[in-house]
């Protein structure tokens, strides 16, 4: 079911944790709340769950106002960051707990619980206690437990952040598949942009209790609305530019060509340029823009090298460039040419 959030505000004493948030979460979609630590992601999720009450605003589920409904009656499923399985119960008993609370018919409970454990591929671990399971297994059981009573919305608060990298990437795919299969409206909190990009239908970027931008991963990545979003999703080169007398965009001493849309919008004095949109060569490749510069730093990451380049036209700035699969290691102080198309330049608001 779709969720509509309107004008939601919440403060803790003098700290304003959420400011006037308005957002629609479409039915059966996977939405990620993304943002730096302390930006209010968890608080937002907990307000939706009903575990915190907002001072202002409404939360509507399929058109019905839920703001006054206590959390236990909302029938939302929730998975917490730290393992929240009841330590005195086996995996199966944990999953059964919600079915008992929701007064499922006695005969159906066990079948449903085993079915859910099967969905998270833990049917064979049903009799284990949480302490006898790995972190990843515990989080799967937590998902099975949350989903068993057929919640109308599933809420996940950094469910993967306590796990190590391999398990995390495995579970990303698995959780996403389960979500698609059950077609359940899901909101996940994360501070990991790659997790958000990989899993979501919709990303909501939060900063200081406000929504900076919301949209599909492609929209957010390709068209960040402002400097904050650009910097937070992937890395972005931010170029300080100006307009000369004839209205052209100048980057230091050199003129740049942007596409018409970006060109029209550039008034803020900054443009964004994704590192991977830059092609490195020794001579210009014939794209609309080409700058010469000196390599100042090389970071070697295996399949990837990240070069920091000081452009000759604007020596007080530094551009990051990504080289994929290059077998030859670049060296500092090498002179290179940076080529990029006019479409690679994005306008950013400050």
Partner 1 sequence: MTDQTVSMSSRLRQFRLSDKSFATAVSVGILVLMVIFLVIPAVSILLRSFVGDSGWGLENYTETLNSGRIRELVGNSLTVSAITAALAVSLAYVYAYSIQRTNVVFKSFLRIVVMTPLFAPSLVQAQGLIFLFGRNGAFNRFFGFDFDLYGFWGIVLANTLYTFPYAFLILSAALAAADARLYEGAVVMGAKPMRIFQAITLPSTRYGIAAACFVSFSLSITDFGNAIVIGGDFNVLATEIYNKVIGQGKFGLGAVIGVLLLAPAVISKLLERRIARGQHALITDGSKPLVIGINRSRDLAYGIYAYVVAGMFLAVPLIVLLASFVRLWPYNLSFTLKHYSFDVQNGAQPLWNSIVVALATALFGVVLVTIAAIVVQKFRTPLRGPISFLAILPTSIPGMVLGLGYVLAFNNPANPLNMLYGTFPLIVLLYIYYNHAQGFLITTTSLKQISSTFDEASTMLGGSQLRTLFKVTLPILWPTLVGVAVFFFMRAMVSLSAVIFLITPQTQVAAVSVLQLSDRGANNQAAAFSVCIMLIVLAMLLLARSVLWLAGAKNITLIR
Ligand X SMILES: Nc1ncnc2c1ncn2[C@@H]1O[C@H](COP(=O)(O)OP(=O)(O)OP(=O)(O)O)[C@@H](O)[C@H]1O
Closer Cβ to ligand X, 39 or 119, answer by number = 39
Residue span 72-91 as binding mask against partner 1, x where in contact by CB under 8 A, dash where not: xx-xxxx-x-x-xxxxxx--
Residue 115 CB burial class (10 angstroms; 0-12, 13-18, ≥19): middle
Q: Whole-angstrom Cα distance, residue 199 to residue 38? A: 22
**Interface with ligand X includes 346 (CB under 6 A)?**
no
| Contacts (CB under 6 A) with ligand X, residues 8-27 | 12, 15, 17
If phi > 0 it is left, if psi is from -120 to 50 it is alpha, else beta; for residue 208 that is left
**Interface with Mg ion includes 42 (CB under 5 A)?**
yes
**Interface with ligand X includes 191 (CB under 6 A)?**
yes
CB 268 within 8 A of CB 345: no
For residue 32, the minimal CB distance to partner 1 (Å) is: 20
**Interface with ligand X includes 193 (CB under 6 A)?**
no
Give the pairing type, strands 76-79 and 153-157: parallel
Closer Cβ to ligand X, 81 or 310, answer by number = 81
**Interface with partner 1 includes 106 (CB under 8 A)?**
no
Q: Which of 21, 49, 171, 211 binds partner 1 (CB under 8 A)?
A: 49
What residues contact residue 49 under an 8 Å CB cut-off, 6+ apart?
Answer: 71, 74, 76, 78, 155
Structure tokens at 30: 């996977």
For residue 348, the minimal CB distance to ligand X (Å) is: 23
**Interface with partner 1 includes 234 (CB under 8 A)?**
no
Stretch that binds Mg ion, among 16-24, 27-35, 42-50, 249-257 (CB under 5 A): 42-50
Closer Cβ to partner 1, 15 or 101, answer by number = 101
Residue 252 phi, psi dihedral angles, 5° rounding: 60, -120
Partner touching 172 among ligand X, Mg ion, partner 1, none, CB below 5 to 8 Å by kind: none
**Interface with partner 1 includes 12 (CB under 8 A)?**
no
What residues contact residue 339 under an 8 Å CB cut-off, 6+ apart?
Answer: 278, 279, 280, 281, 284, 285, 286, 287, 289, 290
Question: Would you list the DSSP string of 252-291?
Answer: TTEEE---HHHHHH--SSEEEE-GGGPEEESS--SSSEEE
Closer Cβ to ligand X, 38 or 71, answer by number = 38
* Interacting residues with Mg ion (CB under 5 A): 42
Footprint on this chain of ligand X (rule: CB under 6 A): 12, 15, 17, 35, 37-43, 191
Contacting positions for partner 1 (CB under 8 A): 49, 51, 70-73, 75-78, 80, 82, 84-89, 97-98, 101-103, 145-146, 149
């Amino acid at each position: 079911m779709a969720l509509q959030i309107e004008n939601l505000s919440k403060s803790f004493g003098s700290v304003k944790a959420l400011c006037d948030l308005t957002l629609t979460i479409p039915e059966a979609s996977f939405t990620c709340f993304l943002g730096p630590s302390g930006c209010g992601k968890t608080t937002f999720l907990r307000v939706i769950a009903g575990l915190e009450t907002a001072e202002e605003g409404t939360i509507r589920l399929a058109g019905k106002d839920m703001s006054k409904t206590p959390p236990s009656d909302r029938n939302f499923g929730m998975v917490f960051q730290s393992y929240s399985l009841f330590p005195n119960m086996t995996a199966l008993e944990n999953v059964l707990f919600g079915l008992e609370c929701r007064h499922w018919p006695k005969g159906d409970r066990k079948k449903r619980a085993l079915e859910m454990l099967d969905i998270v591929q833990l049917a064979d671990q049903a009799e284990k206690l949480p302490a006898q399971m790995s972190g990843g297994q515990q989080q799967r059981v937590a998902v099975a437990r949350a989903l068993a009573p057929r919640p109308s919305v599933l809420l996940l608060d950094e469910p993967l952040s306590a796990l190590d990298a391999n398990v995390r990437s495995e579970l990303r795919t698995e959780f996403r598949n389960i979500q698609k299969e059950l077609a359940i409206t899901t909101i996940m909190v994360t501070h990991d942009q790659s997790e958000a990009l990989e899993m979501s239908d919709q990303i909501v970027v939060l900063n200081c209790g406000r929504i900076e931008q919301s949209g599909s991963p492609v929209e957010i990545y390709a068209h960040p609305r402002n400097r904050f979003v650009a910097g937070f999703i992937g890395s972005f080169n931010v170029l300080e530019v100006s307009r000369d007398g004839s209205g052209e965009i100048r980057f230091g001493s050199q003129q740049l060509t942007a596409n018409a849309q970006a060109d029209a919008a550039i008034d803020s004095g900054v443009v964004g340029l994704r590192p991977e949109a830059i092609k490195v060569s020794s001579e210009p490749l014939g794209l609309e823009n080409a700058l010469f510069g000196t390599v100042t730093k090389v970071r070697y990451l295996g399949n990837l090298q990240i070069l920091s380049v000081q452009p000759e036209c604007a020596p007080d700035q530094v551009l990051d460039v990504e080289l994929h699969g290059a077998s030859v290691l670049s060296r500092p102080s090498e002179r290179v040419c940076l080529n990029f198309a006019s479409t690679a330049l994005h306008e950013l608001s400050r």
